[in-house]
Chains A and B, each alone.
Chain A
Amino acid sequence: MTDNSFAGPMSMIKINGSKIKLLREQQGLTQLYLATAVEVTTDTISRWENRRYPSIKRDNGLKLAEALNVQLEDLLEETSENTAKTPHSGIPPNVTPPEIIHSKFTQKRLFFIVLGTIVCIAMTFIWIFVHSSQPLLFSAKRILPAHCIDGQPFPVLIEVTGAPDVATAIIIKESLPMNGTIHTTSPKVTTGGLRNNQIRWLKKITRAGFFAYVVSVSGKDAVDFSFTGTAAISHDSESSIDGKNTIAVGQHHWADSNKDNIISDDEILAVYDLYSEITDINLNIDLIEEIWLGSEYSWDSARATYKIID
């Protein structure tokens, strides 16, 4: 088997049309004779001889060789000649399609296109992530204990977030319940900043700042008291302060968040973490520590004092 033939009854073989023509003419045979012997048309014989169909079915090749009284191999195109001769006409139905040419240049170009697309998508996602996690222009949130004891002071914290690189003037207006009593504020407010149970602050902040006050409310147990407020950096940007806005009166210290009559390590750490930056208001931290160091406490409403059990 030579390189220009393929195994199988329906396989194709590459023939040398010139040889076929020479052998036919040497024997004085006509194209009609060969066409009849191979059972094809004379046009087909003509195309074979003129190399317009360089590959033919092996069965036809065998019939052709028998008609010309030669071996099949005598009709085949030699290996060195196969690369030199390429048919220029369109691909006929009995000719093998040309082999896919492997283009390294095309493959490399496609690789870089895919790489560039992935990098662009990744950068887009990273950009969206960075910008979505940036804080809003400004925001204000109230931190208020869940409960307090009638007439006992507790802290209210308003956490404000502003633009990271620009000092922003912010106006905070905080309205207290009607029977609320303000003990102290941070920053301090002028006389005009405290009236009709409303506190007004004007302060410049960069990135973040705190407004705080200590207040007490008078009321019966299980009654809720509401706090409302707004924050603004301009006439058009006044918005409500987010966060907790109600507190209930009961028999537990405001730092005892789970009302188990113990100020635990977690609860005192929360107090320090939240309020330690506010240095100019009195939270009575010593009392909180004293309760924390004890094993238990209770509120004596008749004497308005805490009983601390060691």
Chain B
Amino acid sequence: MSKFTSLYSHNKILACVFVFAIILVCDSETTNAANLISGKYLSADGTTLILSLSIQNPSPANLIVEQSLPQGNKVTTTSPQAKKIDNSRCKVKWLFRNIRIGNITLTTKLKAPLTGNPSAMVRYRDPRNGSFTELRISP
């Protein structure tokens, strides 16, 4: 009986190691899609809003950022230049094409100090599986 018990515990250890190795191999491509891009507001008060995005590997080819402001705020300029500034709806939209790994900084200048909290929605297609992904960023 002791012979079989010892052999059984050896096999149990081997089976656990084997299963762990298989999981490690098969799971190499299941990183959370949201980790490809992360962002935060570096400044969200006064007349200057600064939104910083960090692009990880593998980077999406193209990216859309839509920033929403509370009603009553007016945008004067943006950097880089936004595709559309809609002050009636208090929305700013950027389109970035052929982006690379690194950081993107979006600056929004307001006519008057910000009232309320801004938010941004980052949208892209995951290069690994083509799925459409949205990431919300708030101060």
Contacts and interface: CB of A to CB of B under 8 A. Distances in A.
A276 B99 CA distance: 12
Given A107-B6, A266-B132, A289-B83, A273 B14 contact: no
Contacts of A107: 3, 6-7
Interface of A: 100, 102, 107, 110-111, 114-115, 118, 122, 125-126, 265-266, 268-270, 272-273, 276, 289, 293
B34 interface: no
B115 interface: no
B6 A273 contact: no
Interface residues of B, number: 27
Interface string B103-126: 000000000000000000001110
Contacts of B125: 266, 269-270, 273
Contacts of B64: 265, 268-269
B7 A122 contact: no
Given A118-B18, A273-B62, A289-B95, A265 B123 contact: yes
Contact of B123 (A114, A126, A269, A276): A269
B101 interface: no
Contacts of A118: 14-15, 18
29 contacts: A107-B3, A107-B7, A114-B10, A114-B11, A114-B14, A122-B18, A122-B21, A265-B64, A265-B66, A265-B123, A266-B125, A266-B132, A268-B64, A268-B95, A269-B62, A269-B124, A269-B125, A269-B132, A270-B125, A272-B61, A272-B62, A272-B97, A273-B61, A273-B62, A276-B61, A276-B97, A276-B98, A293-B83, A293-B84
Nearest to B121: A265
Contacts of B123: 265-266, 269
Given A268-B64, A293-B84, 12 more contacts: A107-B6, A114-B14, A118-B14, A118-B15, A266-B123, A266-B132, A268-B95, A269-B64, A269-B124, A273-B62, A289-B83, A293-B93
